[in-house]
Amino acid sequence: MVSIVFEKKDVGLNNTLIIEIAKRLYNVFGDRLIAVNTIDAFDGSNVRIVIKGKNFDDTRKVMEVIEEIEDAFDAHGKILPEIISESNFKIILDKNDVYRLPANIISEIRKKLRNVFGDRLIAVNTIDAFDGSNVRIVIKGKNFDDTRKVMEVIEEIEDAFDAHGKILPEIIGVENVEEISEKNRSVSP
């Protein structure tokens, strides 16, 4: 059974698109599709897609379906998915169970990413983000391929530390750091 939840806030997608996304993804994933929710995430994502046992191939399949829907509804660039696993979704739903990354895991992430990105790696810090992310990775000139490389390193570290599904990265470009700081800054009256 698929759960479809619409956020009250306008996220730039109409209900027809969300229902179409859920319908087409259900045809691809069947009961592995857990939820399709509208969201207003800081990174611009406006639809959360939750897939049981999500892997890299699943992400590719989701993006193919999104592309088909954007073509069919002339909505190019309007559907901005956040594609997560069921275990990550549970963490988001119950923030009290957020896994705090120990220093040795953060150190290992930093070391391995430094080997991959060199001076392009700006920061690796623990965070407690509203979306369940527990480590922020900042990369200079970040692109889609960089995200894939980070996720490969994360998967390797999860295997080494038996921490499957517990490292939840927020991967951003250095140009987004100021934007995030602005959103988190409280304004005095």
The residue ranges of every structural domain in the chain are 3-95, 99-184
Over the chain, what is the mean pLDDT?
82
Q: What is the pLDDT of residue 8?
A: 57
Distance CA 162, CA 2 (A): 30
CATH class label, 99-184 = alpha beta
Residue with tokens 């990105």: 117
Confidence of residue 4 (pLDDT cuts 50, 70, 90): low
Nearest by Cα to 171 from 45, 20, 9: 45
Residue with tokens 């909505």: 75
For residue 186, what pLDDT is reported? 37
Q: Report pLDDT for 93.
A: 60
Tens of pLDDT, residue by residue over 162-182, are 887 788 888 898 887 765 555
Confidence of residue 99 (pLDDT cuts 50, 70, 90): low
pLDDT tens, residue by residue, 54-65: 999 999 999 999
Q: What is the DSSP letter of 186?
A: P
Q: How confident is the model at residue 16 (pLDDT cuts 50, 70, 90)?
A: confident
Q: What is the DSSP letter of 100?
A: P
Instruction: Tell me if domain 3-95 and domain 99-184 are identical in fold.
Output: yes
Taken in order 110, 152, 96, 172, the sign of the CA dihedral is: positive
Alpha-helical runs (H) found in 50-137: 56-72, 86-93, 103-117
Domain boundaries 3-95, corresponding CATH code: 3.30.300
